[in-house]
């Protein structure tokens, strides 16, 4: 029997962890937990664990130990190295168990002295696979665990979904009928889809809310940028104005005084100096709303950095784009953590105006946590 790595099965998480500790000691390291089918279809918990490298070895027969040292010590060392390398690989992988939860699974939760249930570890790993940073995944699952322990019978995943919903604070979509005229400027890095998003919002405002919409572009940096928005405007029967500085921007806004919604497209900016200059130009408009567009496909580190660069510049709302291109759409939580602003909308494709989502509801929550699992007959009966 391999006394380095062992696999245990039990009807519930507590029994599985008790078996691990009894066989490998209290310092055993949990490598993996999963739910499997058991007797008569009832689920069981399977835990794979290894003995801690710092733990004292189990008592052995002296003569047997001597014989083992003479014949098999090198094989055991090789096996141990492979296990350690695999463990390191798992811990460095985005799909690995978050470090904090792993420590709790090893020796008991710091929250209440209880071992972390395998469901919590699995959920944290799921969030990691969906692009949520390890630190944020830990925070969510730990907060959910505290809530569930106060309310026995509550669902851990549903509690996490509620917590995610609170972080993804929803604002009124730009295309809803306003009480007074709205001037909305979309800002953000290059290539996040600002121009297409402007077109989607304009089309939705025309078709759904029957608003009078005006378009302005201050993107005179890219070749053909104004023509790009102009083509969208022609299709929708909207006039597109071009502004190159503050005086021409003020004049364009004044000419569009009868519009219910005025949308301003801007050039992509990533360095702080260019961002500040563009924001200063927009602030010449007293009632302008600045909506920061961030691509969900950029990854957690990049999306958080872009949010931080705009943190002190008066951004009012967030717009998440390219959710359809994101391998880890849960990265949007990193943007909200860096720049806690309400979300005005999100996009998930190139179709105008179809691939545009209002905030609120399950869409963004599903992007972070994943769609709800379909209930099975056994699940419904077990309630």
pLDDT score of 89 more than 70: no
pLDDT of 347-371, one tens digit each? 988 888 888 988 888 899 999 988 8
What whole-number distance in Å separates Cα of residue 236 and Cα of residue 230? Answer: 10
Whole-model pTM: value is 0.67
Residue 56 pLDDT grade (very low, low, confident, very high; cuts 50, 70, 90): low
Residue 1 pLDDT grade (very low, low, confident, very high; cuts 50, 70, 90): very low
Task: Kindly state the tokens that stand for 22.
Answer: 């009894």
pLDDT of 286-315, one tens digit each? 889 999 999 999 889 899 998 988 887 888
CA angle (372 as vertex; 367, 374 as ends), nearest 5: 145
**303 versus 219: which is more confidently predicted?**
303
Greatest extent of the chain over all pairs of C-alpha atoms, in Å: 96
pLDDT score of 184 more than 90: yes
**323 versus 89: which is more confidently predicted?**
323
DSSP 108-175: --TTTSSPPPHHHHHHHHHHHHTT--HHHHHHHHHHHHHHHHHSTT--HHHHHHHHHHHHS-B---TT
Total number of residues shown for the chain? 383
Phi/psi for 288 (5° steps) reads -70, 140
Q: What is the mean pLDDT of the chain?
A: 78
Predicted local confidence at residue 221, as pLDDT: 63
Predicted local confidence at residue 317, as pLDDT: 92
**73 versus 24: which is more confidently predicted?**
24
If you average pLDDT over each of 32-41, 43-52, 54-63, 253-262, which comes out highest? 253-262
Q: What is the mean pLDDT of residues 181-186?
A: 92
**79 versus 346: which is more confidently predicted?**
346
What whole-number distance in Å separates Cα of residue 29 and Cα of residue 229? Answer: 57
Which sign, positive or negative, has the C-alpha torsion 111, 113, 116, 120?
A: negative
Q: DSSP alpha helices (H): ranges in 188-224? A: 194-207
pLDDT score of 93 more than 50: no
Predicted local confidence at residue 381, as pLDDT: 38
């Amino acid at each position: 029997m391999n006394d380095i790595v062992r696999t245990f099965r039990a009807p519930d998480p507590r029994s599985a962890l008790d078996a691990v500790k009894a066989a490998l000691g209290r310092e055993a390291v949990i490598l993996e937990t999963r739910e499997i089918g058991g007797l008569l279809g009832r689920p069981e918990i399977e835990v794979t664990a290894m003995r801690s490298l710092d733990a004292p070895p189990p008592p052995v027969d002296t003569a047997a130990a001597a014989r083992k040292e003479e014949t098999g010590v090198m094989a055991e060392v090789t096996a141990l190295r492979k296990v350690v390398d695999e463990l390191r690989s798992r811990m460095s992988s985005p799909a690995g168990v978050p470090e904090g939860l792993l420590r709790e699974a090893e020796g008991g939760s710091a929250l209440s002295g209880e071992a972390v249930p395998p469901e919590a570890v699995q959920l944290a790993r799921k969030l990691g696979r969906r692009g949520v940073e390890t630190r944020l995944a830990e925070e969510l699952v730990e907060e959910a665990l505290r809530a569930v322990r106060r309310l026995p019978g509550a669902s851990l995943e549903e509690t996490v979904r509620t917590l995610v919903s609170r972080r993804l604070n929803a604002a009124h979509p730009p295309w809803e009928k306003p009480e007074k005229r709205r001037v909305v400027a979309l800002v953000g890095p290059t290539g996040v889809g600002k121009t297409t998003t402007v077109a989607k919002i304009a089309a939705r405002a025309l078709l759904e809310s029957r608003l009078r919409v005006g378009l302005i572009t201050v993107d005179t940096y890219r070749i053909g940028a104004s023509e790009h928005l102009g083509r969208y405007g022609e299709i929708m029967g909207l006039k597109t104005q071009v502004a190159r500085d503050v005086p021409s921007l003020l004049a364009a806004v004044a000419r569009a005084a009868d519009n219910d919604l005025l949308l301003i497209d801007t050039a992509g900016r990533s360095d702080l100096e260019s961002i500040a200059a563009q924001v200063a130009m927009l602030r010449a408009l007293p009632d302008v709303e600045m909506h920061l567009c961030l691509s969900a496909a950029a990854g957690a580190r990049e999306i958080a950095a872009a949010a931080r660069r705009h943190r002190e510049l008066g951004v009012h709302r967030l717009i998440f784009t390219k959710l359809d291109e994101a391998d880890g759409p849960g990265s949007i939580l990193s943007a909200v953590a860096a720049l806690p602003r309400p979300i005005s909308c999100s996009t998930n494709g190139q179709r105008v105006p179809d691939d545009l989502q209002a905030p609120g509801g399950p869409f963004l929550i599903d992007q972070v946590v994943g769609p709800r699992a379909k209930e099975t007959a056994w699940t419904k009966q077990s309630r």
